[in-house]
């Protein structure tokens, strides 16, 4: 437990991806089974305990030092689990601290009545960091900035395997993953990929610009719309029916409507969307359905999920990945024609004669529901990762707006001495006065040289400081590029930008001439987009 606690502690302060990987790898190598397996499960959200309720922890704290001192302490620290871990004292007579395996085994068998006494004994035997980690584990939120994907990358690294080799077998494994470590570290055979319901690493595309297209032969390529949803994989075999994110996270629980509608065997690549009748709702609507533990009937009714299929990887027990795109496409369309389904449809191909024609189609497509075009070679096999050449994404030109820099915050890692996170705003009238309202935050889009320039500008124009944040004089105009905009109740301005980045620094433009909130409101799309399968310039092949 102490080693796991030290790992969580270090991860929570470490912003850099590579350093996080190094920390996890070192832990996995040095920690014996089954503890490292349980740790891996904790990092990939594969552990589920009966939660320790806040009232229990508060009661522990008040018993320990009295209500008055406990409340003063909690007030100062601001986190219940952390406060309790800090005020509790280690009892040197409490015996050795529990191992992670012991914690997991005990909690899985202990009754609700037994838990408080067991927990107290553990708190006595651990140090402050150990107590913090234990309580974080029990309250169900590690929050150390590690995604499941990153943890899998680390475990792949210790066996010098590509992460996709781990992904392919991951969903057939259960904690504490002994066969996985035996394979990666001790030359045991690779655990078999449970073909049914396993996540298959997806094929990704490289970005391309108009000018680069001329080097390519349009006859070799097929085009399809890039829908503005979430790239997913549907996998079904026997009783196992799953929905995975592009990164291999199992998101089935949040989309019972999709899972229920699976009446087939196979693995499909597609885009998860919210669709009402024939209309694809804006991305913002889909966001409402993500990361929800409980999906209410109302949510299911008002935000119905839908999958628009791009590709088929397995069909009825047959691996199709080695086939060409055209062959897979033919299988996909035949399968779909056999039995059309309400929650699944096939993304249509966009027929075009040459690049100029395709560019024209792309220009004409102004809907919110589409991010751009995908170009796929007709002869391309389905390859894991992001191979160079077979697939391209040709995104829509971003929207541009001129904003005024308002606040800057220091970055992390290599950027820790630079003001590199920028909050910007647009003008609005409030109570007869013209004022700036923050509309978004961006931390990329600029070159290293521009970052140095921005950093110096921020330091030279600071008017106020709030901890790590500096307020600056409202004098610098930034041209912000973004992919979409939607209403949001979480932001002061009532607007949320998608993927905002700094496109240009407009030292030539006076701040007073930057855009207004009204200009931004005009960019808000209509409710959604008609299904382009029915529009004039898209036809089935």
Partner 1 sequence: MTDTLDPRSWLYPTPRGLYCKPGDFYIDPAVAVPRAVITHGHGDHARPGHRKALATPETLAIMRTRFEGMADTSQQPLKYGESVRIGEVDVELAPAGHILGSAQAVLAFKGQRIVVSGDFKRRPDPTCPPFEPIPCDVFITEATFALPVFHHPSDMGEIGKLLRSVATFPERTHLVGVYALGKCQRVIKLLRAAGWDKRIWLHGSLMALCKLYQEQGVDLGDIAHVGDAILETFRGAIVLCPPSALADRWSRRFADPVPAVCSGWMRVRARARQSGAELPLIISDHADWGELCQTLKDVGAPKVWVTHGREEALVHMARSLGIDAEALHLAGREEEGT
Of 93, 111, 417, 463, the one binding partner 1 (CB under 8 A) is 417
Interacting stretch for partner 1, rule CB under 8 A, among 10-18, 370-378, 429-437, 487-495? Answer: 10-18
Q: Of 52 and 81, which has the nearer Cβ to partner 1?
A: 81
Q: What CA–CA distance (Å, rounded) separates 396 from 399?
A: 9
Cα–Cα–Cα angle for 348, 351, 356, rounded to 5 degrees:
135
Residue 416 binds partner 1 (CB under 8 A): yes
Distance of closest approach, residue 410 Cβ to partner 1, in angstroms: 6
The CB-of-467 to partner 1 minimum distance in angstroms stands at 5
324 touches partner 1 (CB under 8 A) = no
Residue ranges in 120-149 that form contacts with partner 1 under rule CB under 8 A: 127-128
User: What's the closest the beta carbon of residue 120 comes to partner 1, in angstroms?
Assistant: 17
Smallest separation (angstroms) from partner 1 to the CB of 14? 6
Among 51, 63, 72, 108, binds partner 1 (CB under 8 A): 72
**Is residue 26 a contact residue for partner 1 (CB under 8 A)?**
yes
Q: How many residues of this chain bind partner 1 (CB under 8 A)?
A: 33
Structure tokens at 421: 């996170």
- Please check whether residue 49 is in contact with residue 58, taking contact to mean a CB–CB distance below 8 angstroms: no
Binding window for partner 1 (CB under 8 A); candidates: 161-169, 180-188, 338-346, 409-417: 409-417
Tell me if 394 sits within 8 A of 373, measured CB to CB: yes
| Residue 15 in the binding site for partner 1 (CB under 8 A) | yes
Q: According to the 3-state scheme, what is the secondary structure of 112-135?
A: CCCHHHHHHHHHHHCCHHHHHHHH
Which pair of tokens denotes residue 161? 């395997």
Record the tokens describing residue 294, joined without a space: 């409980």
Q: Which residues contact 127 (CB under 8 A, 6 or more apart)?
A: 2, 5, 90, 97
- In angstroms, give the least distance from the CB of 256 to partner 1: 37
What is the closest distance, in whole angstroms, from the C-beta atom of residue 141 to partner 1 in the complex? 14
Main-chain dihedrals φ then ψ at residue 217, nearest 5 degrees = -85, 115
Tokens of 494: 């009532």
Q: What share of the chain is helix, strand, coil (3-state, %, to 5)?
A: 40, 25, 35
Smallest distance, Å, CB 407 to partner 1?
16
Q: Give the integer Cα–Cα distance in Å for 86 and 90.
A: 10
Please choose, out of 7-15, 241-249, 313-321, 531-539, the segment that lies near partner 1 by the rule CB under 8 A. Answer: 7-15
Half-sphere exposure of 270 (CA within 13 A, CB side): 23
Considering only 17, 149, 341, 410, the residue that binds partner 1 (CB under 8 A) is 410
User: Is 383 near partner 1 (CB under 8 A)?
Assistant: no
> Partners of 501 in the beta sheet?
481
Look at residues 426, 448, 450 and name the one whose alpha carbon lies nearest to residue 438.
Answer: 426
Q: 132 or 227, CB closer to partner 1? A: 132
Q: Cβ distance 444 to 502 under 8 Å?
A: yes
218 within 8 A of 354, measured Cβ to Cβ: yes
Distance of alpha carbon 1 from alpha carbon 39, whole angstroms: 9
Q: Out of 87, 203, 234, 405, which residue is the one contacting partner 1 (CB under 8 A)?
A: 87
Site string for partner 1, 457-496 (x = CB under 8 A): ----------xx----------------------------
Tell me how crowded residue 45 is: count the other CB atoms within 10 A of its CB: 14
Q: Is the four-CA dihedral 206, 209, 212, 213 of positive or negative sign? A: positive
Footprint of partner 1 on 50-69 (CB under 8 A)? 65, 68-69
Q: How far is the CB of 136 from partner 1 (least distance, A)?
A: 11
Q: Which is nearer to partner 1, 70 or 457 (CB)?
A: 70
Q: Does 77 bind partner 1 (CB under 8 A)?
A: yes
Give me the torsion for CA of 232, 25, 27, 24, rounded to 10°. -40
Structure tokens given for 5? 């606690």
**Closest distance of CB 105 from partner 1, Å:** 29
Using the contact rule CB under 8 A, the part of the chain among 11-19, 170-178, 301-309, 499-507 near partner 1 is 11-19
Q: Strands 279-280, 318-319: parallel, antiparallel or unpaired by DSSP?
A: unpaired
The answer to whether the Cα torsion of 157, 159, 161, 167 is positive or negative is negative
Please say which residue, 6 or 204, places its beta carbon nearer to partner 1. Answer: 6
CA 99, 100, 101, 105 torsion: positive or negative?
positive
Query: With respect to partner 1, which residue has the nearer C-beta, 178 or 410?
Result: 410
Handedness of CA 435, 436, 438, 439 (dihedral sign): positive
Q: Which is nearer to partner 1, 128 or 523 (CB)?
A: 128
Q: By CB under 8 A, what part of segment 224-253 binds partner 1?
A: none
Stretch that binds partner 1, among 158-166, 346-354, 408-416, 511-519 (CB under 8 A): 408-416
How far is CA 34 from each of CA 37, 102, 450, rounded to the nearest angstrom?
5, 10, 49
> Which of these segments, 267-275, 382-390, 413-421, 481-489, binds partner 1 (CB under 8 A)?
413-421
484: enclosing H helix or E strand = strand 484-487
User: Does residue 420 interact with partner 1 by CB under 8 A?
Assistant: no
- Residue choice 1, 8, 21, 23 for contact with partner 1 (CB under 8 A): 23
Give residues in contact with partner 1 (CB under 8 A).
10, 12-15, 19, 22-23, 26, 65, 68-70, 72-73, 76-79, 82-83, 86-87, 89, 127-128, 410, 413-414, 416-417, 467-468
């Amino acid at each position: 437990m102490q080693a796991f606690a030290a790992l969580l502690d270090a991860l929570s302060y470490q912003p850099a991806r590579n350093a996080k990987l190094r920390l996890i790898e070192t832990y996995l190598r040095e920690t014996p089974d089954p503890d490292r397996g349980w740790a891996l499960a904790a990092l990939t959200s594969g552990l589920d305990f009966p939660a320790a309720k806040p009232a229990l922890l508060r009661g522990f704290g008040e018993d320990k030092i009295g209500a008055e001192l406990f409340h003063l302490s909690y007030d100062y620290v601001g986190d219940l689990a952390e406060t309790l871990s800090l005020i509790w004292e280690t009892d040197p007579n409490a015996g050795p601290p529990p191992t992670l395996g012991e914690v997991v085994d005990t909690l899985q068998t202990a009754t609700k009545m037994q838990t408080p006494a067991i927990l107290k004994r553990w708190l006595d035997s651990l140090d402050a960091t150990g107590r913090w980690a234990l309580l974080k584990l029990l309250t169900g939120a590690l929050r150390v900035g590690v995604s499941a994907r990153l943890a899998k990358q680390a475990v792949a690294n210790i066996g010098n395997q590509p992460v996709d080799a781990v992904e392919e077998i991951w969903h057939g494994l259960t904690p504490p993953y002994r066969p996985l470590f035996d394979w990666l570290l001790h030359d045991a055979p690779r655990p078999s990929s449970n073909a049914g319901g396993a996540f298959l690493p997806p094929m990704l595309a490289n970005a391309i610009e108009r000018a680069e297209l001329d080097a390519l032969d349009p006859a070799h390529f097929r085009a399809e719309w890039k829908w503005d949803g979430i790239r997913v994989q549907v996998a079904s075999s026997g009783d196992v029916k799953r929905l995975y994110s592009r990164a291999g996270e199992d998101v089935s629980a949040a989309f019972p409507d999709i899972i229920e509608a699976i009446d087939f065997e196979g693995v499909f690549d597609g885009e998860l969307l919210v669709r009402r009748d024939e209309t694809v709702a804006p991305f913002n609507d889909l966001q409402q359905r993500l990361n929800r533990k409980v999906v209410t009937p109302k949510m299911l009714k008002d935000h119905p999920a839908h999958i628009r299929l791009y590709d088929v990887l397995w069909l009825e027990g047959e691996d199709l990945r080695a086939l060409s795109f055209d062959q897979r496409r033919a299988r996909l369309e035949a399968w779909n024609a056999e039995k059309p389904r309400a929650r699944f449809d096939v993304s249509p191909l966009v027929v075009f004669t040459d690049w100029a024609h395709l560019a024209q189609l792309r220009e004409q497509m102004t809907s919110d529901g589409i991010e751009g075009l995908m170009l796929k070679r007709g002869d391309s096999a389905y390859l894991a990762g992001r191979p160079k050449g077979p697939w391209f994404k040709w995104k829509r030109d971003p929207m541009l707006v001129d904003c005024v820099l308002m606040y800057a915050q220091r970055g992390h890692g290599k950027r820790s001495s630079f003001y590199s996170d920028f909050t910007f705003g647009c003008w609005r009238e409030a109570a007869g006065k013209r004022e700036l309202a923050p509309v978004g935050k961006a931390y990329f889009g600029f070159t290293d040289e521009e970052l140095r320039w921005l950093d110096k500008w921020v330091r030279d124009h600071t008017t106020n400081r709030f901890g790590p944040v500096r307020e600056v004089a409202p004098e610098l105009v930034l041209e912000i590029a973004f992919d979409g905009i939607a209403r949001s109740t979480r932001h002061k301005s009532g607007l949320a930008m998608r993927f905002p980045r700094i496109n240009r620094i407009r030292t030539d433009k006076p701040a007073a001439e930057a855009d207004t909130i009204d200009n931004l409101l005009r960019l808000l799309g209509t409710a959604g987009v008609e299904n382009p399968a029915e529009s004039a310039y898209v036809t089935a092949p």
